Structure formats: structure tokens, C-alpha cells
Copies of this chain bind each other. A is one copy, B any other.
Amino acid sequence: MINKKTYKAYCLDLDGTIYRGKDAVEEAAEFVSRLQQQNIEPFFVTNNASMTQQQLKEKMTGFGITAKKERIISSAIAAAKYIKHWYPGKTVYMIGSEGLDQALRQEGLVRVEESADIVLIGLDRAITYDKLATACLEIRKGAVFLSTNKDLAFPSERGFLPANGAITKLVSASTGIEPVFIGKPEIHMLEAIQLELGFSKSEMVMIGDNYDTDIQAGIRFGIDTIHVNTGISSTATVLEKKEQPTFLIENLGYWKI
């Protein structure tokens, strides 16, 4: 087992790290349980913006993981916190699903249908031309343009479906304006955790399977990173990258606390 360093804030990715689709990653579930035995509540950091904290908590319960709801940071939660922190009192035109709507309400933000200060786009499977047109018009009138994440496709029973990054692309292509993305590999979700609980960067670690999102987010934010070989980026692939994670392990069973 490796034990090179201990941290206060363990930030764990979900899909590919804690679970793979409908299956738990056993060693990750045990890792979370070991942390909790030492009174450390980990953070769960996911680009998913469609599900609410409660829905994500219940999904993890199904894998035998007891997560603290307020420590589940989705790109929806982080977007709402980002707006509240950087644009206090500003109004939001939102395209997105229940998870995003609830995150905005949780932070007390006001949604409007026109003359918005901010346009925020998340995955919306009830998208219409009118919603997209309004987003374009508001951005052209000067609204700040935010998007939960840049994921282009996600797997479903039917095959790969268009994800939020693709919907966002329609709006950025039409307006010629690029959004600020909240999700990994951007730093905003990790920053939200830091701002809220006052950790120093040396006390934080980002753990994930995806080099381009999880590991990059940690590197860009300037904290330690642990790559696990349980998901999308194999260890072999990661070893070829110019910027390396702080640690590479096969799975979280190999990390002593």
C-alpha cells in the first residue's frame, strides 16, 4: 500500500472512480469507508449536472457508500455557487434539467426568461429551438455565458447521445462567444470546495480515472492528484502525458490512509 501523504480534502470523481455505470468499484467503496472510520468525509466531484445531490447520494447508497449530501459537488452545484460568489444578485436565464434548477434555487438565485445578466447552459433533454434562440439573443445582448461542462456525448442504452458540451457548441458557434465552463478540467468545482471550507491547496487531493478531466482539473488548480486505473484513461496512456499526476495507482485499495 502507498501512503505518501495524508490530506484533509479527498475529492473523488464518480463515474469510473466510485462506480462504473451500474457497478460499484469495490476498492473505492472500501476506501470511502476507511476514510469515514477516521472521521474524514470525502468530497464527490462530478461533471454530471442533471442529477440532484439527493439523486446522486441515493445512487451511491445503492453501491454501499454513505455520502454526505452537501459534500457531493456536481457541475450544477458548482455553477450555482460560482454565480453566487462572482455575480451576487445577478439574474440567470437557464437551459437545463431538474438538477440545475434545484442547484440555483438552493443558492437563492433568481431565474428570468429575458433580460438576464447570465446565461447558464446544462444538459436539457427537453431542449427547444426557442430556448436556444433566447440563449443566443441574451448572450448577444451582453449576458455572461456559462456552461456546466464540455462533455460532448454520453452513453445510453441507444448509444452515445449528445451531451451538454454539444448543446453549448450550438450557442457558441452561433454567437461567436465562448462560455466559461464550470466542470472539470476547469478548476471551479475544486475552487468551490476550497472557498467554502477554507482548505489550503496542500491539504487537497483530486482522485480520478479520467486524465483529461479529473487529473487536469487538479493540476490546473495546483493540488495533488491521484490517478486510478479503474476507468477511462489507462495507466499506460497517462504515463505518456507530459504533465504527470502526483501518484498513479491501480485502484484505491492500494492507498493507505
Binding site for B on A (CB under 8 A): 124-129, 132-133, 136-137, 140-141, 152-153, 158-163, 165-167, 169-171, 173-176
Contacts and interface: CB of A to CB of B under 8 A. Distances in A.
Contacts of A124: 129
Contact of A128 (B127, B152, B175): B127
One complex includes copies of this chain to the number of: 2
Given A152-B176, A153-B174, A163-B174, 6 more contacts: A128-B128, A136-B162, A140-B159, A141-B159, A152-B174, A166-B173
A161 B130 CA distance: 9
A153 to B, nearest CB: 5
A137 to B, nearest CB: 5
Contacts of A136: 153, 159-162
Contacts of A171: 162, 166
Contacts of A153: 136, 174-175
A162 B140 contact: no
A153 B166 CA distance: 17
Please provide the 4 A-B residue pairs with the shortest distance between their CB atoms, ordered closest to farther: A166-B174, A162-B174, A169-B173, A170-B170
Contacts of A141: 159
A21 to B, nearest CB: 19
A127 B173 CA distance: 17
